[in-house]
Amino acid sequence: MSSDQPAPSPDPSALGTRLIALAVASALLMEFIDSTALSTALPTLARAFSVDPIHLKLALTSYILALAVFTPASGWAAERFGARRVFITAMIVFLVGSALCGLSRNLAALVASRILQGVGGAMMTPVARLIVVGSTPKDKLIRAMGWFTMPALVGPLIGPPLAGLVLSVADWPWIFYLNLPIGLLGMTAVMRFVPRGQPNKEMGRFDTLGFLLSALAISGLVVVAETAGLSLLPPWAQATVLALSVAAGWLYLRKAKITPRPILDLDLLKHRTYRASLLGGTFVRLGIGASPFLLPLLLQVALGWSPLKASAVTLGAGVGTLIARPFAAAGLKRFGFRTSLAVFVVATAILTAVPGFFTLATPMAVMAAALFLAGFARSNQFIAANTIAYADVPQPKVAAASTLAAVSQQVGLALGVSFGGLMLHVARGHGAHLTPDRFTWPFVAIGLVTLLALPVYLRLDRDAGAEISGRVRTTDPLSPRERV
């Protein structure tokens, strides 16, 4: 069925908006399940490919890197070619990448296939959000966004146990093949319920040079971080890549100042709340980004658990994330953004480090409880950080702010995986086995990095974001300078 086939006209009814939201959400559910399931399967893939388990971090960072590089192009493409057409094309790319992942027989092929998946994924989430917002009347938007964000809640709960079950009854390629029926059903729903929309052929020219410079800067930074200490690239090659990355970043900064619509609008960083959200969030992701990589290796390699048993414990983090959401709004209204961010980033840092002390003698219930609390703290922290980001951003700049935030999130996660892998490599030593005690320092290290966000959040005003949290101000809304 062609993506250009006429679709029903927009249905303003509650049922119509719900069907549109669920149609695009079904595809996103596939993406979330895929990412969380792969983390569970990393030790199995290491054995299948006969590679060092630490090197499997490439399977995670390659996908995240593709998201970071191609996400900035999604908004322009959706407007120029039509959101539904771009979304369906992105789903096809993702499904082709999934099939190739299952057919991979070495790490290099898997990494290449994951990059292709990431190209599709980069276009799915931002464009899906545009579809929901553009197809839903304002009075029904909150309910529609609730349905749209459901995969972010359900995916982390379904992914690990599903992967554990699949790996206990079938071979590892089925982790990726399961995407195919889900994706085809999602495509059918999108073509049936999502209005086609009209492409905007009068869109300005795409910032091609800016896109290439930002892609080179981001890719070079992640490649250097990913290969550090692992002898995957010779020192001269790492130095060359780093130099090219820095040069591309410098050229992009100069070009962005004279470009009317840069691919990444760095002027947004002048807003204090937005800057704090991005900088603090990057430190947090540098820390917790390594957890989906380190935890399966700890449970399945160091402790010798089966994937199914390990997934039963890691399910606690997903439950904690799900339960935290109803509490977040009430907490922000009662305590404000600065206090909430400070408290939950400290809790996140401590609980992120706790798995480093798991041993064979640690009861499963204790592990699950610790991961539950970690999920609860992280969810509260991210809800607060992601919300306050837009407190001072003007409405015309919200789309650009969302794009820059999405890119910074992916870069932080990719660097977090690289950092966690490097710390594990250092802790293991040359040729040593991955025993539980080798994981203590890596988890403590990522906890300490997470804690670097605390000074950033404490620099916020006490009443920062009071307008959107509903909290009554405790100080004069005007600063001393503004009063003068």
Tokens standing for residue 96: 């082709």
Percentage, residues of the chain above pLDDT 70: 87
Q: How far apart are the first and last CA of the chain?
A: 65
Interhelix angle 272-288/307-353, rounded to 10 degrees, is: 130
Q: Given the structure tokens 């006490």, which residue do they identify?
A: 462
Cβ within 8 Å of residue 327, ≥6 positions away: 380
For 303-329, what is the mean pLDDT? 86
Q: DSSP readout, 233-245?
A: S-HHHHHHHHHHH
- If asked whether residues 316 and 336 sit together in one domain, one would say yes
287 phi/psi in degrees, rounded to 5: -80, -60
- pLDDT given for residue 93 in this prediction: 95
- pLDDT given for residue 230 in this prediction: 67
- pLDDT given for residue 49 in this prediction: 92
CATH code for the domain in which residue 344 is found: 1.20.1250.20
Query: Which domain does 179 fall in, by range?
Result: 1-199
- If asked whether residues 114 and 237 sit together in one domain, one would say no
- If asked whether residues 308 and 249 sit together in one domain, one would say no
Tokens standing for residue 52: 């060092």
- pLDDT given for residue 252 in this prediction: 93
Least confident among 219-228, 291-300, 393-402: 393-402
- If asked whether residues 231 and 284 sit together in one domain, one would say no
| Residue 478 forms part of a structural domain | no
Is the pLDDT assigned to residue 472 strictly greater than 60? no
| Residue 172 forms part of a structural domain | yes
For residue range 204-245, what is the model confidence (pLDDT) as tens digits? 788 889 999 999 999 999 888 888 766 677 888 889 999 999
- If asked whether residues 216 and 166 sit together in one domain, one would say no
- pLDDT given for residue 431 in this prediction: 64
Residue that terminates a domain, selected from 199, 216, 238: 199
Is the pLDDT assigned to residue 302 strictly greater than 60? yes
- pLDDT given for residue 113 in this prediction: 95
| Residue 476 forms part of a structural domain | no
Tokens standing for residue 97: 């990448």
Question: pLDDT category, 457, cuts 50, 70, 90?
Answer: very high
For residue 286, give the DSSP letter: H
- If asked whether residues 180 and 249 sit together in one domain, one would say no
Cα(366)–Cα(374) distance, integer angstroms: 12
Cβ within 8 Å of residue 373, ≥6 positions away: 320, 347, 351
For 472-481, what is the mean pLDDT? 48
| Residue 480 forms part of a structural domain | no
> Is residue 84 a contact partner of residue 238, using CB atoms and an 8 Å limit?
no
- pLDDT given for residue 452 in this prediction: 94
Cα(278)–Cα(282) distance, integer angstroms: 6
Is the pLDDT assigned to residue 414 strictly greater than 70? yes
Question: pLDDT category, 465, cuts 50, 70, 90?
Answer: low
Is the pLDDT assigned to residue 303 strictly greater than 90? yes
Percentage, residues of the chain above pLDDT 90: 34
What residue spans of 297-390 are helical by DSSP H?
307-353, 364-388
For 434-447, what is the mean pLDDT? 93
Is the pLDDT assigned to residue 407 strictly greater than 50? yes
- If asked whether residues 37 and 150 sit together in one domain, one would say yes
| Residue 26 forms part of a structural domain | yes
- pLDDT given for residue 484 in this prediction: 35
Is the pLDDT assigned to residue 203 strictly greater than 70? no
For residue range 54-113, what is the model confidence (pLDDT) as tens digits? 888 889 899 999 998 998 888 788 878 888 888 999 999 999 999 999 999 999 999 999
For 358-377, what is the mean pLDDT? 94
For residue range 1-19, what is the model confidence (pLDDT) as tens digits? 444 444 444 445 566 677 7
- pLDDT given for residue 90 in this prediction: 92
Question: pLDDT category, 124, cuts 50, 70, 90?
Answer: confident
Higher pLDDT residue, 122 or 153? Answer: 122
- pLDDT given for residue 475 in this prediction: 54
* CB neighbour class for 180 (10 Å; exposed up to 12, middle 13-18, buried from 19): middle
Cα(362)–Cα(480) distance, integer angstroms: 54
> Is residue 259 a contact partner of residue 400, using CB atoms and an 8 Å limit?
no
Is the pLDDT assigned to residue 375 strictly greater than 60? yes
For residue 362, give the DSSP letter: S
- If asked whether residues 225 and 353 sit together in one domain, one would say no
Residue that terminates a domain, selected from 150, 175, 199: 199
Cα(56)–Cα(48) distance, integer angstroms: 11
Residue 445: name the closest of 309, 325, 287, 315 by CA. 287
Higher pLDDT residue, 199 or 221? Answer: 221
Is the pLDDT assigned to residue 421 strictly greater than 80? yes
- If asked whether residues 103 and 234 sit together in one domain, one would say no
Cα(26)–Cα(187) distance, integer angstroms: 9
- If asked whether residues 253 and 275 sit together in one domain, one would say no
Least confident among 45-49, 75-79, 312-316: 75-79
- pLDDT given for residue 108 in this prediction: 92
- pLDDT given for residue 11 in this prediction: 47
For 401-415, what is the mean pLDDT? 87
For residue range 317-347, what is the model confidence (pLDDT) as tens digits? 888 888 887 787 778 778 888 888 999 999 9
- If asked whether residues 329 and 284 sit together in one domain, one would say yes
Distances in whole angstroms, Cα of residue 385 to Cα of each of 88, 167, 334, 456, 475: 31, 36, 16, 11, 22
| Residue 348 forms part of a structural domain | yes
For residue range 240-279, what is the model confidence (pLDDT) as tens digits? 999 999 999 999 999 988 888 888 888 888 888 889 989 9
Average of per-residue pLDDT values in the chain: 84
- pLDDT given for residue 469 in this prediction: 58
- pLDDT given for residue 206 in this prediction: 84
Q: What angle do CA 314, 316, 318 make, to 5 degrees?
A: 90
Q: Given the structure tokens 């980069």, which residue do they identify?
A: 122
- pLDDT given for residue 76 in this prediction: 82
- If asked whether residues 195 and 219 sit together in one domain, one would say no
> Is residue 38 a contact partner of residue 59, using CB atoms and an 8 Å limit?
yes
Q: Which range scores top for mean pLDDT: 123-137, 321-335, 431-445?
A: 431-445
Q: Given the structure tokens 């922000």, which residue do they identify?
A: 332
